[in-house]
Structure 1
């Protein structure tokens, strides 16, 4: 009798585990092209950036890092045009600065001392020309994104350290002299972070804290360093790790913030400027294999020729078996159609 009573008592105290989150539906969008695979095996390809050729959009270029070997330049068919050796480049971004295209990458060659590597993109020869590597601060450089200040066209970079610290650097490019890179402020998130992007229109920095969610900061170096949480990793609309970030600009303040939802091989969208959830999709379902375990992404809206008439998205593919990793090219028009975005 006593045993039966104890069993009944213990059964009544049992705690029901919380329900497991299920990722929200995500329609497939087929890749239009893919790049040549990188030369190194395992986890190597990492982050892309896009240069849009305004005179001939179909002749635009994609650059992509191989974090074990260097950095590649591709055309929009995915053909590798050039390769620049460099040790352990991770994330990359670029901007037009005074008639030159400047690419800046986070440099992890020294895990105790973060660096950035600067390049000029020769758009005629279609190759990257090194300008040097420059120390930033203590730590391992992970993420990298650029911001051009509207008021004076000053160039700034945000270097996201592996531990969540974010160093903002001013990048000065005096004519005929070496670049000058100096840290102007630091910010901090609590845990490992990497992906970042800046909306130049609103001077807003977005950063992905991998297991927590998406944050925003004011990009102005004189602004407070307190972040604002946009959305949490919830296992439904955003599945850890939250990785690469990109922005599709539309008009003065509109468009979409896109994030790699790495945990379920998807991409989540948030509508600008209110950052309301707008849907999610996966890359796959076509003659080109899909993506999985995506780290870096990039997206630029606008005409990129007949195959990408409304914009170009590039996503790193973490599993391109039987070949090594590469990058997939997707039409922004196809994404908007799949999600019924206006």
Structure 2
């Protein structure tokens, strides 16, 4: 265990000196410090976040008890109990360090072992099947790590004219790229190094309801917003002046459209585990501005994030640790409600990257996670978090399989005769041509019915119109 030491003088009060009737000089002690999250909480399966406003680590033990440790204080809380460290908690960089204290560790471990309500389900042994892609997009125009995260825009009148909108991490020529359902590039928008992209519908702008695409821009460290033309699918930037993130470098992104308040939010993750929630609104000048309404910090790198608009939840992938479930409303608290699964090499292998929601009828459906380290995709029941199955996208005759996937998306709505049940789309890190040569990265598409029928437990196939979400 790595320790951190701090010397300090232990001064005895004059009252104690009198009572002892002797002069006692100050003596030096060494206090050993340990990282609270990395070496105390993470190994026992607790959830923890950094509260930016109170400069505290908040944690939730497996039995549901919530605790708090504050930088600069000697006091700690575990449920309704309090205790004291031998010295104040300190901050080294972005890491909270606690004085090594047997009583604190003992109490945490005892409470943590007394129950388990944090883990939403007892996940079963992994299952796996393979599918083959039905279509692939044109390769990115740049070599290297370019294509990252896709999203799907559904055309309001002609679903077969829907678009795949992808984020490109190379700044030129296109940071946002649009593809038709044949995989052909039909639009390129050079606005910076875009990381993750998402789409929502019926956003109120200029007195009208418009469809929007939004993305994190690593060049400007902000959110970029685009209005989507309802017939042509052409993107027009409508980014206002107040969407610059407070974190050092933006990373993952999801939109959240609340079925409770009707408001639209942008959810951002950062490379150091940061999270910001921005309320998005019409600024009265035909542009979209935002205000920061919630922020916190997980213990390590996070990227993948997705919101379930109907249930009012969002899921975030702490890449080497777990998938966490949070309340998506801005007043929904800072700690996760539950852990969906851990990154233990069984169902999920680091890094856990993209996340997506398959919306089925009557509130059913799935959370899908990209297990990058095993080139697989894990499905969890959207209602109770139970693990369902895992699939891979394998090599076909003309389209190769996927590997080391970053972003994913899924659409449950029918997109014409070719995709009557929607499809799953995934980024491919190593795009191999039929002759064995390696092309630039691209996206692979799998018709949903292949996945639904390929599983031992047949999956849901009745999707919903993304413009007609319901509060669950």
Query: Considering the TM-score relative to the shorter chain, is it more than 0.5?
Result: yes
Given the alignment of the two structures, is residue 91 of structure 1 paired with residue 193 of structure 2, yes or no?
no
**1:115 match:** 222
Given the alignment of the two structures, is residue 293 of structure 1 paired with residue 404 of structure 2, yes or no?
yes
Q: With a CA cutoff of 8 Å and minimum separation of 6, indicate the structure with the bigger relative contact order.
A: 1
**1:306 match:** 417
Contact residue 117 and residue 132 of structure 1 kept, 8 A:
yes
**1:72 match:** 177
**2:233 match:** 126
Q: CA RMSD in A?
A: 1.5
**1:106 match:** 216
SS of 1:138's partner is coil
**1:19 match:** none
In 2, the alpha carbon distance for the partners of 1:118 and 1:294 equals 25
SS of 2:311's partner is coil
**1:329 match:** 445
In 1, the alpha carbon distance for the partners of 2:319 and 2:284 equals 39
**1:243 match:** 353
Contact residue 368 and residue 379 of structure 2 kept, 8 A:
yes
**1:5 match:** none
Q: CA deviation at 1:278?
A: 0.4
In 2, the alpha carbon distance for the partners of 1:147 and 1:87 equals 23
Aligned counterpart in structure 2 of residue 81 of structure 1, from 182, 186, 199:
186
Q: CA deviation at 1:324?
A: 0.2
**1:32 match:** 134
Q: CA deviation at 1:150?
A: 1.2
SS of 1:103's partner is strand
Given the alignment of the two structures, is residue 317 of structure 1 paired with residue 424 of structure 2, yes or no?
no
In 2, the alpha carbon distance for the partners of 1:177 and 1:85 equals 21
**1:42 match:** 144
In 1, the alpha carbon distance for the partners of 2:255 and 2:440 equals 29
**1:277 match:** 387
Q: CA deviation at 1:247?
A: 0.6
**1:189 match:** 298
Q: Which runs of 5+ in 1 are unaligned?
A: 1-22
- Give aligned pairs, total: 317
Q: Structure 1 or 2: larger strand share?
A: 1
In 2, the alpha carbon distance for the partners of 1:213 and 1:338 equals 26
In 2, the alpha carbon distance for the partners of 1:94 and 1:231 equals 26
Aligned counterpart in structure 1 of residue 322 of structure 2, from 182, 200, 213:
213
In 2, the alpha carbon distance for the partners of 1:157 and 1:66 equals 19
Q: CA deviation at 1:173?
A: 1.7
After superposition, the C-alpha distances for 1:180-236 in whole angstroms (9 at most, x for unaligned) are 111101122110000111111110010001001100110111111101221101211
Q: Which runs of 5+ in 2 are unaligned?
A: 1-124, 433-437, 460-472
Contact residue 159 and residue 166 of structure 1 kept, 8 A:
yes
Q: CA deviation at 1:25?
A: 4.8
Aligned counterpart in structure 1 of residue 363 of structure 2, from 225, 249, 253:
253
In 2, the alpha carbon distance for the partners of 1:252 and 1:224 equals 27
Contact residue 238 and residue 286 of structure 2 kept, 8 A:
no
After superposition, the C-alpha distances for 1:52-79 in whole angstroms (9 at most, x for unaligned) are 1242221111100111131111111101
Aligned counterpart in structure 2 of residue 59 of structure 1, from 140, 161, 174:
161
Q: CA deviation at 1:175?
A: 4.8
Higher Rg: 2
In 1, the alpha carbon distance for the partners of 2:260 and 2:372 equals 36
**1:200 match:** 309
Aligned counterpart in structure 2 of residue 137 of structure 1, from 236, 246, 254:
246
Q: CA deviation at 1:24?
A: 4.2
In 2, the alpha carbon distance for the partners of 1:234 and 1:268 equals 13
In 2, the alpha carbon distance for the partners of 1:161 and 1:280 equals 27
SS of 1:135's partner is coil
Contact residue 257 and residue 271 of structure 1 kept, 8 A:
yes
In 2, the alpha carbon distance for the partners of 1:192 and 1:319 equals 23
Contact residue 156 and residue 230 of structure 2 kept, 8 A:
no
In 2, the alpha carbon distance for the partners of 1:162 and 1:67 equals 15
SS of 1:273's partner is coil
Contact residue 201 and residue 252 of structure 1 kept, 8 A:
no
Given the alignment of the two structures, is residue 263 of structure 1 paired with residue 368 of structure 2, yes or no?
no
SS of 1:252's partner is helix
Q: CA deviation at 1:265?
A: 0.6
